[in-house]
Amino acid sequence: MSAGAVLATSNGQLVDGRYPLLQRLGGSRGSEVYLTELPEEPSRKAVIKLIPADERGPERVVSRLEAIARLSHPNLIRIFRVGRCKINSASLIYVVMEYAEENLSQILPYRPLTSAETEEMLRAILDVLIFVHQNGFVHTHLKPSNVMAVGDRLKISSDNLQSSGEQDYHPAEPDAFDAPELGTEAVSAASDVWSLGMTLVAALAQNPPAWNREAKTEPVVPASIPQPFRGIARDCLRLDPRQRSTLEQVKVRLEPTSVSVARKRSRTGLLVAAQVILIALLATLWFVAHRSSTVKTRRTTRKQEAQPVLNAPTAQQHVQPAVSTPAPEPAHPPASAGNLHHGIVKGAVSEKVLPNVSGNARNTIQGKIRVNVRVDVDDTGAVSAATLEKAGPSKYFARLALESARRWQFQPAQVDGKPVPSTWILHYRFGREETEIVPSETSP
């Protein structure tokens, strides 16, 4: 029985008496994913995945997930708890994991990653995949939807890791990101290299390269992909797993960027040294010439000491210092009559709270990310509610805007001299350099 059929009416139920099924986030033929919260931290969101226990040997699945939960890497989604439960009389396995605000597949429809973003992503994925392989696992499911953002940190999914050498792993619905040998050969690190190549092309071209699994031909990496990424992707996407690059080789191919920087610095250092020598030489020549001129001047001065001084300036000829007149201060603008209309006095912002955006998150911004937040202000000037009017393309920046808006303070609006509630729209504009916020009062 599919997980979807079992959980058709399960919203609001408690899993294992601890984890509420708050909202369905997605699912597949073999599992369902819900939003939940951690009982020890009720305000912290988490994800719970439910898998029918009658498939693939429940003890084996639980044992594998518990082994994964013991792994710890900053770029790997954390597993909090693994267990078994019953819902609607059906036996299920559950796994509770970190909640990711968004993933790469949600960004690519809007824009590709820049070369700098791609390099940062690639380095993080390489580090975590090498860690996973060193611990005896293969990811087997690397693709944009499993490259996630938790706060400002990139992480990859962990619940689908398989033991290296696993013979019985078969992708439920194979796609371009699944290595061609999966399902017919034992899983290996080389299958993750294939998925990495596909993900790399998708990040820069917004889609993986066209590839027909049945044609037995290698994917063609678009010429628009810049180097070194094009060469890396090409060597990751070899049909024969033995001919693919290793993860360590990919890391080495990323290093020419830093090597070239070092060479540039070396060349710059040589140029600076040459300039210093040239300046020193010119200074020496100037000093010699200046000293010669000074000696001549002294000789001339001694000859003139016996001569009377002519045309010496008198006291009246001394130049008086200029006296600056301070510019007049600008007059204060008169109070606007627009704030007073039929006994209504508009409110005002008394405290503006900027969102705390990390440097890494700012570096991902292209242009401006626009988020509009509606805030309801009570008659004391405090925010009583904040909701998204326009969420924009990023859940991360939408969350930052909401958190910021809830902390604003206002001078309450007045009607006939009495403070009244009001409504405002805060227009957030997140950019690489700064965050702009334009408030506008819509009522009263």
Tell me the two tokens of residue 16: 């294992």
* 163 CB-side CA count, 13 A: 11
Give residue 199's identity as a one-letter amino acid code: T
Domain final residue, candidates 78, 99, 120? 99
Could you tell me the pTM of the whole model?
0.66
* Rounded Cα distance, 27 and 42, in Å: 24
Asked whether residue 431 is assigned to any structural domain, the reply reads yes
Count: domains in the chain: 3
Q: What is the residue range of 402's domain? A: 343-443
> For residue 421, what is the domain's CATH number?
3.30.2420.10
CB-count burial class (<10 Å; 0-12, 13-18, 19+) for 409: middle
Please tell me the chain's helix, strand, coil percentages from 3-state DSSP, rounded to the nearest 5. Answer: 35, 25, 40
Last residue of a domain, one of 51, 76, 99: 99
Is beta strand 79-87 parallel, antiparallel or unpaired with respect to 90-98?
Answer: antiparallel
Are 201 and 219 in the same domain?
Answer: yes
190 belongs to a structural domain: yes
Please identify, among 241, 258, 275, the residue that sits at the C-terminal boundary of a domain: 258
Each residue's pLDDT, cut to its tens digit, for the chain (444 residues) gives 455 555 554 566 889 999 999 999 988 777 899 999 998 887 789 999 999 987 567 899 999 999 999 999 999 999 999 999 988 888 999 999 999 989 999 999 989 999 999 999 999 999 999 999 999 999 999 999 999 999 889 999 999 999 999 887 888 788 999 999 998 899 999 999 999 999 999 999 999 998 988 878 999 999 999 999 999 999 999 999 999 999 999 999 998 644 444 444 444 444 444 454 444 554 444 444 444 444 444 444 444 443 333 333 333 333 333 333 344 434 334 434 444 445 788 999 999 999 988 877 887 787 889 999 999 999 999 999 999 999 888 888 998 999 999 999 999 999 988 999 999 999 999 998 899 999 999 988
Q: Are 377 and 347 in contact (CB under 8 A)?
A: yes
CATH classification at residue 112: 1.10.510.10
What's the rounded Cα separation, in Å, for the pair 434 and 369? 11
Q: Would residue 122 count as lying in a domain?
A: yes
